[in-house]
Amino acid sequence: MLGTVADAVRSVITPAALGADQAEPAVVEAPDPAGLYEVDEIPAVETIEAAAREYDRAADAARRADRGKRAAKKILDRLPAGVYGTWRVFRTPSSRQTPDLVEITRIFKANNLGPVPMKACAPSLKVELFEVAPVEVEMLAGVAA
């Protein structure tokens, strides 16, 4: 917490210096999961390019939609249930459950069981357009193109 306060004070005094300390983290690639195509099963490059293009387009659309949803939710979350114009705003109980990590941690500490075991989430699939620079090929003398 003291570091956060110090960062806040430095950002007011010298904001450029604070930003200079923070380099963009390098992208770390996760190992390939099990169940991938065998070498003889890999689709044609054109099929892969089309899938990557569609995935990138859909992921971008999902990010834009998520930003819009979050902005609208900021307003709607604060409304009491009711009818507003042509829209009914209400809440329903969730059927999903999640582990209570605070309670689990308390139980582990109370029984000297050490840290709560954790496992990593599945790696996220990412795609990026990779532009291949054209290669200059020298023509050999006497060889027709």
Phi, psi of 107 (to 5 degrees): -65, -45
Q: How big is the chain, counted in residues?
A: 145
Per the domain annotation, does 128 fall within a domain? no
What does the pLDDT read at residue 19?
54
Burial class (CB in 10 A: 0-12, 13-18, 19+), 108: middle
Average pLDDT, the chain: 84
pLDDT tens digit sequence for 13-36 = 555 555 555 677 788 888 888 899
DSSP β-bridge partners for residue 88? 83
Question: How many domains, the chain?
Answer: 1
Per the domain annotation, does 45 fall within a domain? yes
What Rg, from alpha-carbon coordinates, does the chain have? 26
> What residues contact 11, with CB distance under 8 A and at least 6 apart?
18
What does the pLDDT read at residue 38?
94
Distance of CA 53 to CAs 32, 59, 63, 80, 130, Å?
21, 10, 15, 42, 11
pLDDT tens digit sequence for 101-116 = 999 999 999 999 999 9
Per the domain annotation, does 65 fall within a domain? yes
Range of the domain at 50: 37-77
pLDDT tens digit sequence for 53-93 = 999 999 999 999 999 999 999 999 999 999 999 999 999 99
pLDDT band, residue 141 (cuts 50/70/90): low
Per the domain annotation, does 72 fall within a domain? yes
Per the domain annotation, does 142 fall within a domain? no
Contact call for residues 104 and 97 (beta carbons, < 8 A): no
3-state secondary structure of 88: strand
Per the domain annotation, does 19 fall within a domain? no
Per the domain annotation, does 42 fall within a domain? yes
Per the domain annotation, does 30 fall within a domain? no
